[in-house]
Structure 1
Amino acid sequence: MKTKLQAARVARGWSQAQLMDALEDAAERLGMELPSRTSLKTQVSMFENGRREPGADYQALFSEVYEATRAELGLALETAPSQLDALPRQTSLQIPSPTATPEVLGYLKSVFIQHAQAEPLVGPRFLVPAVQSQVPLIEELCKEASGPLREDVVRVGARYAEFLGWLHQDTGDSELAMLWTNRALDYASELDDPVLSAYVFQRRSNIAAEAGQAGYAIGLANAALKQARKLPNQVQAVALRARANSHALLGQADDCARALDEARAIADKGEGDSDGLAGYCSVAYVEMEAANCAIQLQRPHEAVETLETSLTHWPAEQQRDRGLCLARLATAYAQLEDVEGAYNAASQAVAIAQTTGSARILAELGRLQSHLTPWGKLVEIAELNRLLGSMRGT
């Protein structure tokens, strides 16, 4: 049974490691000392499982971290002293809350750009904690910000939340991906920004599609395109790509083709996305997504031709997406019963999946495995299956 303490962490979208980071930060603010990281992990697990009641100091830390009362966290108001009571304390300092200033916003924007540039190279595994660590600051700024700076603060919050949603999607956690993307939509609603809202709706469509909810995904893509004529070219094109992908999942080939044709035509008109939301949505990007649709629709010849061409001029900085492209190419080869081609492409994709920790590449390779079943006794295919099993922990 989930305790209120555990529920509070899940509601924040935190792992236990992220909670421990927050506890250590709070302990420093409150002038407390914590035990070693290993001991702290044990304590947190026992508290969340209800096997031990947190002592007074831990209760204070949890209240600080979650910005909630002890009663709201299901903690007793009076309890035995915790192990922290025996540790020496420093003088507690009252640290003022951060204030929204152009300098603070400039810092958050510059850090965001660095994370976004690193993400295609290193994947989500190392970036989630780094991006998550900025959220408490953004939330504090949102509490107090008003006047002309409030819109800037909320917009920064929207970009961080959407990015966290993407990172969780790439780790394979669709629940947390949707949670953070929904939060981005909340920010966009306050801003009354139709472009940002449309972009976030198509991101929600992507998450739903990858979770196998094609009907829900197409509804979200349609919502993104409700005011299509008001959208910049690239945002409109990427939303059409989401619609096409949903149609492909539903086996609706003609509707998929129409959406892709529109996306290509609009992407070919130029950028027109001053906020840089969909700067990646070029004609080449639409073509790669069209190849994925072709695989879904059992048209591997179309997919192979497109993906092979794309890989010849793939940008070096888009390493993670190159891995996804290779995994899709392997699936297309397997559909054509080209076992050697499938194995060679899959081997390269596996290496990139190991480097970046991308669950999306791993999921595509899982789709490949079902197509390779007739050749499962071949040494190379058996080894590939063993390696993929070990990567999934099975």
Structure 2
Amino acid sequence: MDAMADAADRLCIDLPAPSSLKTQVSMFENGRRIPGQDYQTIFCEVYHSSRTDLGLCVESAPSQLESLPRLPTPQSLSPKASPGVLDYLKSVFVQHANAEPLVGSRFLVPAVQSQMPLIEELCKDADGPMRDDVVRVGARYSEFLGWLHQDTGDSREAMLWTNRALDYASELADPALSSYVFQRRSNIAAEAGQAGYAVGLANAALREERKLPNQVRAVALRARANAHAMLGHDDDCRRAFDEARTFADRAAEDGPSLAPYCSVAYIDMEAANSALQLHRPEDAVRTLEASLTRWPAEQQRDRGLCLARLATAYAQMEDVEAAYKTGQEAAAIAQATGSARILAELGRLQVHLARWSKLVEIAELNRTLGTMKGN
């Protein structure tokens, strides 16, 4: 019950008084009542597991993180897998991936999702080596679509499509691809506030860690570290980030990677975010300020996220002027890219600036953010 209370606090779920909670738990144990959706979410958090792993009745309370997406049924004759069709899908994927940091996720969701019925049709009849190629394309598109939905703030759709990517990866028996998708699921769960579930998914990503390329191993360790930071586990967080830096530093040993972005600098950036979770803003400021001096121009959306985190760090240090100026920069990028992740970070900034809300500058920032949120 103590663990349930801690989890409920993290998830912002109200629990009844201890005496009533004890009765509820007893009824669950005796099979007299099926846990509702909130209780199922809490149990998943406490045990770092999914509803399926815990044997809970998913049908009675559909999980936003475990359903499967429904695909439209094509009305025309089904196309067949061929090298030409696969080359087309691969080239379009590269174009979308290159465009995403510049134009933002919301404009790409319809374009990427429109390819999924075609991929699904190709999978129906493809066999032999050609099938592996089609399934791999399906995994990459599904994972990317999950990421696009995550960046637009739709955790449900993000997990739906990332689960689909894991299905494809499981058919291929590819440890690196499966690990990469598991850590993506961990990231989505963490951003949805389910830190315990996120730890479990990160652990799953590292189940066969000796078989993983260095960069994939590093991003999976980063996911574990981030989840531990959300749970307040400072030592576990530091340990995971130290390991992640070691493997990111060996990136030159990898061939083509699923995580080419994962450098030591990237790990340091993520460690700065975890430092904010653990109320160590000085550590975060040093890293984030240094990162911004060498930020690639084409990574505009991620630069906005970095600025929003830096603004939060300034606010934690009570540097109100720096927090305001940096927050305004981040807000402009959030507006241009439509990134819900930047906007969520700016929401965290607002909490830290609440006691200065009567200052003209902070009131102006709050108005800007309120307009962006539709308030």
> Which category of TM-score, normalised to the shorter sequence, fits these structures?
0.7 to 0.9
Q: In the alignment, which residue of structure 1 is the partner of 2:147?
A: 166
Measured after TM superposition, the shift of residue 12 of structure 1 is 3.7
Identity %: 75
1:218/1:247 contact within 8 Å kept: yes
1:13/1:176 contact within 8 Å kept: no
Q: In the alignment, which residue of structure 2 is the partner of 1:247?
A: 228
2:214/2:254 contact within 8 Å kept: yes
Task: Give the aligned residue type for 2:339.
Answer: S
Measured after TM superposition, the shift of residue 122 of structure 1 is 1.1
Q: In the TM superposition, what are the counterparts of 1:342-381 in structure 2 within 5 Å?
A: 342-381=323-362
2:68/2:161 contact within 8 Å kept: no
Give me the whole-angstrom Cα distance separating, in 1, the residues matched to 2:77 and 2:112. 23
Q: In the alignment, which residue of structure 1 is the partner of 2:171?
A: 190
1:271/1:279 contact within 8 Å kept: no
Q: 1:196-245 deviations in whole A, cap 9, x for unaligned?
A: 00000000000000000000000000110111111000000000000100
Indicate whether 1:154 and 2:135 are aligned: yes
Give me the whole-angstrom Cα distance separating, in 2, the residues matched to 1:151 and 1:392. 43
Q: In the alignment, which residue of structure 1 is the partner of 2:189?
A: 208
- Runs of 4+ aligned residues of structure 1 deviating over 3 Å after TM superposition are 10-14, 271-275
Give me the whole-angstrom Cα distance separating, in 1, the residues matched to 2:192 and 2:253. 31
Give me the whole-angstrom Cα distance separating, in 2, the residues matched to 1:305 and 1:251. 21
Q: In the alignment, which residue of structure 1 is the partner of 2:103?
A: 122
Q: In the alignment, which residue of structure 1 is the partner of 2:214?
A: 233
Q: In the alignment, which residue of structure 2 is the partner of 1:142?
A: 123
Measured after TM superposition, the shift of residue 11 of structure 1 is 5.9
State TM-score, norm by structure 1: 0.77
State TM-score, norm by structure 2: 0.80
Give me the whole-angstrom Cα distance separating, in 1, the residues matched to 2:96 and 2:254. 20
Give me the whole-angstrom Cα distance separating, in 1, the residues matched to 2:80 and 2:178. 27
Task: Give the aligned residue type for 1:170.
Answer: D
Measured after TM superposition, the shift of residue 360 of structure 1 is 0.2
1:234/1:272 contact within 8 Å kept: no
5+ residue gaps, structure 1, are 1-9, 15-64, 68-93
Task: Give the aligned residue type for 2:108.
Answer: L
Q: In the alignment, which residue of structure 1 is the partner of 2:261?
A: 280
C-alpha distance 272-108 of structure 1, shift in aligned 2 (>3 A): farther
Give me the whole-angstrom Cα distance separating, in 2, the residues matched to 1:13 and 1:315. 37
Task: Give the aligned residue type for 2:299.
Answer: Q
Measured after TM superposition, the shift of residue 13 of structure 1 is 6.1
5+ residue gaps, structure 2, are 1-66
Q: In the alignment, which residue of structure 2 is the partner of 1:85?
A: none
Q: How many residues matched?
A: 309
Q: SS at 1:278's partner residue?
A: coil
2:138/2:168 contact within 8 Å kept: yes
The structure with the larger Rg is 1
